[in-house]
């Protein structure tokens, strides 16, 4: 049981390049989330998904796209990378029986630098 | 609007001291959930506690305790007899009504705790 896994761990992008951050969970959780953490700050929600085929924007979605074709995978796509997207990206998942908020399980993070 | 405020940016204590991390939240929902997460220097996020808005009982887990007071919209975290391994950034987070908000977490900016030997 690996929990939430993210790849890559580190990446350096040039301005204008694109990339996909991968996230996979093996806990059969229906909810998945992408957050970003800027230095000295808390996490901010980029996108989330309540199940396969359903996604919605969070607080800071601009410059990103997501898809959820399976329960396990929730990739985050960066198009036309900008220096403002330099951050640590965390993927998380949770299970919500009965509509209650339960703890989110976080992946180890991807440290992205855009130069 | 929902918001979480952790007014203490950094706290430094000497080992064995007690320390309290403050968390104040704002929400219009009557049903909500509060969380604390720990982020050690290695960077991962570790879940510590979850509390729903209908349960105001304080909780103790070993050296950790939490004080939830709806009257002051606070959910403070106390570490008793701190240890060097407690050095980390601690985040308080809020999740509102699940059906409306999808369980998404609103984080405070974090408190960096440094415990010196």
How many angstroms away from the CA of B83 is the closest CA of chain A?
23
What the block records as the tokens of B62 is 């070993």
With a cut of 90, say whether residue A8 has pLDDT above it: yes
Mean pLDDT, all residues of chain B: 93
Residue B56 pLDDT level (bands cut at 50, 70, 90): confident
Q: For residues B6 and A109, what is the distance between their CA atoms, to the nearest angstrom?
A: 23
Residue A41 pLDDT level (bands cut at 50, 70, 90): confident
Instruction: Indicate the range of A33-42, A66-75, B71-80, B95-104 predicted with least confidence.
Output: B95-104
Residue A51 vs residue A111, higher pLDDT: A111
pLDDT above 90 coverage of chain A, percent: 83
Size of interface A-B (CB pairs under 8 A): 64
With a cut of 70, say whether residue B43 has pLDDT above it: yes
Which among A36, A101, A106 is the top mutation candidate for probing chain B, defined by the most B β-carbons within 10 Å of its own β-carbon? A101
| Parallel/antiparallel/unpaired status of strands A87-94 and A76-78 | unpaired
Whether residue B90 lies within 8 A of chain A, CB to CB, comes out as no
With a cut of 90, say whether residue B55 has pLDDT above it: no
Q: For residues A39 and A76, what is the distance between their CA atoms, to the nearest angstrom?
A: 20
Instruction: Indicate the range of A86-95, B35-44, B53-62 predicted with least confidence.
Output: B53-62
Q: For residues B103 and B100, what is the distance between their CA atoms, to the nearest angstrom?
A: 8
Mean pLDDT, all residues of chain A: 93
Distances from the Cα of A44 to the Cα of A69, A98, B63, B104, angstroms = 23, 25, 29, 10
List chain A residues with CB under 8 Å of B93.
42
Whether residue A45 lies within 8 A of chain B, CB to CB, comes out as yes
Q: What is the CA radius of gyration of chain A?
A: 13
In DSSP terms, which residues pair with B71 in a beta bridge? none
With a cut of 70, say whether residue B117 has pLDDT above it: yes
Q: What is the CA radius of gyration of chain B?
A: 14
**Rounded mean pLDDT of B74-91?**
97
What the block records as the tokens of A29 is 């959780």
Whether residue B95 lies within 8 A of chain A, CB to CB, comes out as yes
Q: Do B13 and B116 meet the contact criterion of CB atoms below 8 Å apart?
A: yes
What's the pLDDT score for residue B58?
87
Whether residue A106 lies within 8 A of chain B, CB to CB, comes out as yes
Instruction: Indicate the range of A28-37, A97-106, B7-16, B89-98 predicted with least confidence.
Output: A97-106
Whether residue A58 lies within 8 A of chain B, CB to CB, comes out as yes
Provide the strand spans (E) within chain A.
Answer: 4-7, 10-13, 19-25, 31-37, 43-51, 54-57, 64-66, 76-78, 87-94, 105-106, 110-114
What the block records as the tokens of A115 is 């130069």
pLDDT tens for A63-99 read: 999 999 999 999 999 999 999 999 999 999 998 766 6
Terminal alpha carbon distance of chain A = 36
CB contact under 8 A, A41 and B109: yes
Handedness of CA A7, A39, B101, B5 (dihedral sign): positive
């Amino acid at each position: 049981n690996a929990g939430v896994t993210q790849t890559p761990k580190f990446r350096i992008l040039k301005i204008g390049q694109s990339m996909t951050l991968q996230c996979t969970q093996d806990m059969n959780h229906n909810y998945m989330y992408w957050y970003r953490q800027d230095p000295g700050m808390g996490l901010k929600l980029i996108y989330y998904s309540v199940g396969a085929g359903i996604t919605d924007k969070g607080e800071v979605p601009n410059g990103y796209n997501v898809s959820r074709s399976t329960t396990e995978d929730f990739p985050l796509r960066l198009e036309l990378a900008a220096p403002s997207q330099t951050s640590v990206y965390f993927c998380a998942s949770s299970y919500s029986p009965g509509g209650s908020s339960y703890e989110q399980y976080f992946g180890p993070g991807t440290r992205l630098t855009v130069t | 609007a929902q918001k979480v405020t952790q007014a203490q940016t950094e706290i430094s204590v000497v080992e064995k001291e007690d320390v309290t991390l403050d968390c104040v939240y704002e929400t219009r929902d009557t049903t909500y959930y509060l969380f604390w997460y720990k982020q050690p220097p290695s960077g991962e996020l570790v879940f510590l506690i979850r509390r729903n808005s209908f349960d105001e009982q304080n909780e103790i887990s070993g050296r950790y305790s939490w004080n939830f007071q709806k009257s002051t919209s606070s959910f403070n975290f106390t570490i008793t007899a701190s240890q060097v391994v407690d050095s980390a950034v601690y985040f308080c987070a809020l999740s509102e009504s699940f059906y409306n908000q999808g369980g998404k977490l609103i984080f405070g900016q974090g408190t960096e705790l440094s415990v010196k030997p």
